[in-house]
Chain A
């Protein structure tokens, strides 16, 4: 469905649409009134907690966290995710496009990647903890692994979906093989690859967080882990809310970047993801 700027604006300020989040907050508040605050704190208390702990959370230092603020922990997590997504994208896209062009490579890598695409990548987390320790490495490796697999599959499929007539026409008009890759294969596959990037990014936050939960020195997942040890539901929800907000913003940024970088993109069908 194509909508003009006016239509988008109308959808953005649709009062019924905007009433949704208010309703969600109201439902949360009503449930919090019925349950003890140690089980479900009201939304305002969680927001206050976010504000209070954002720059400095002295109580976190008691649990041995170096970086005792939500902002600092969040920055650590964001750095890891950005690093891992960049690395994983490079690996996955190059691998996927190469496999699409070289039949032997495809025959060898495809079975592994298709299997890796169905198993939960989380299974690798305990192994990575032993191999890379509890530092940044194991969490980043887990996310890189996941992003690379998703983008390999998307790049591979995008190249396969590309009608060979485009390349044949370019070659007939005198394009060199390298030129055909640059001017046909890359622009032709970028939209679908960027769609895959958004999906991989969405999954990256949860994987990074659970990698930190399983073993890390800092990060928002580590904060959630120590607060879980103290059965501090309010603190956990504050950290989750912040992480969720970052994930929403990152997804919106990625969507905006896709519109700018690949304006010829037909709206990708991300619905199922």
Chain B
């Protein structure tokens, strides 16, 4: 069988597996009808998820577009529910994006600065290793005490998690640039700045692909962790708020949405980084 036909078959199998999972969930909801509390099934079927559960998302709507939020006497409606999901998604995604960008930028710049000389590289090796080993998710409360539990606190936390990874990744990648490339450039008269611009930066890009994907995972974990432990909005906030009342159906709906977002973001990152390093021979 050719590779392309195998890939096509695998796609159908993948689709089949996910359809089967969805069907199994529905079957389970029919068989296992226990309720976490009256009217709240432990295993909510799809008909519940996309009617009552979706409607209940209007509870987390903060108002706007001429629709009154529940807290001000509005009634549950599908437009409010959809707007609520969109608004909370936007909050989470904005924290994720700003935090990731800030962390990637700061980590890369610091990593490049440290790689300027072999001396500074040796100096930061152990501290960087220690900071990377510190369990990131355990540090949520510390960042909340330092930066508050609003936008800045979450962005700072995501940026820290991403920045540490990028810093270590850049220092490591610069260390792996073949010496002969550097020597050649120097022999041809390149100064330190020129060397960075036209040799080091392009050379480390392919190796940073792994760091980018890894840091995206860390950023998602960080933003969820921060929202679990104290937020006024966002998808993680809805999950934890619903958990306190054992609203399993709401948690499930929002978790599904997050799975869709993470899968899409990984797919987009993979394609983007593959495109950015398309000139490089297959590596890391």
Contact = CB atoms under 8 A, between A and B. Distances in A.
> Real complex partners, A and B?
yes
Interface stretch (B79-87, B179-187, B217-225): B217-225
Interface in B94-142: 119, 122-127, 130, 133-142
A210 B255 contact: no
Interface string B222-248: 001100110000000001101100101
Nearest to A209: B138
Interface stretch (A18-26, A182-190, A257-265): A18-26
B266 interface: yes
B42 to A, nearest CB: 9
B122 A210 contact: no
Nearest to A130: B246
Contacts of A120: 217, 220-221, 224, 258, 262
Interface size class of B (residues with CB under 8 A): 35 or more
A210 B138 contact: yes
B251 interface: yes
Interface stretch (B12-20, B55-63, B68-76, B195-203): B12-20
Interface string B173-216: 00010000000000000000000000000000001001100100
A20 B10 CA distance: 50
Given A119-B262, A233-B145, A20 B134 contact: no
B32 interface: no
Given A16-B123, A202-B133, A272 B259 contact: no
B64 interface: no
B89 interface: no
B178 to A, nearest CB: 13
Contacts of A163: none
B250 to A, nearest CB: 11
Contacts of A127: 248, 251-252, 255
Given A213-B140, A244-B135, A107 B210 contact: no
B125 A17 contact: yes
Given A20-B127, A123-B259, A214-B228, A111 B145 contact: no
A228 B123 contact: no
A120 B137 CA distance: 12
A123 B126 contact: no
B130 A21 contact: yes
B221 A122 contact: yes
B172 interface: yes
A119 B130 contact: no
Main secondary structure of the interface of A (DSSP, over half): helix
Which of A16, A19, A120, A207 has the largest count of B CB atoms less than 10 A from its CB? A120
A84 interface: no
A205 B145 contact: no
Given A24-B127, A244-B130, A247-B133, A119 B258 contact: yes
Interface string A234-270: 0011001001100110010000000000000000010
Contacts of B136: 206
A21 B125 CA distance: 9
Nearest to B251: A126
A35 B154 CA distance: 21
B224 A273 contact: no
B36 interface: yes
B144 interface: yes
Given A115-B263, A210-B228, A214-B228, A21 B127 contact: yes
A21 B266 CA distance: 35
B220 A20 contact: no
Interface in A196-227: 202, 205-207, 209-210, 213-214, 220-221, 224-225, 227
Contacts of B172: 271-272
Contact of B119 (A16, A122, A220): A16
A14 B211 CA distance: 28
Nearest to A236: B142
Contact of B126 (A20, A119, A121, A214): A20
Nearest to B146: A39
A231 B149 CA distance: 13
Interface string A115-143: 10011111101110110000000000000
Interface of A: 14, 16-21, 23-24, 39-40, 107-108, 110-112, 115, 118-123, 125-127, 129-130, 202, 205-207, 209-210, 213-214, 220-221, 224-225, 227-228, 231, 233, 236-237, 240, 243-244, 247-248, 251, 269, 271-273
Given A17-B126, A20-B127, 7 more contacts: A20-B126, A123-B255, A129-B243, A210-B140, A248-B130, A272-B214, A273-B214
Ranked nearest first, the 4 interchain pairs of A and B with the lowest CB-CB distance are A206-B135, A209-B138, A228-B141, A206-B137
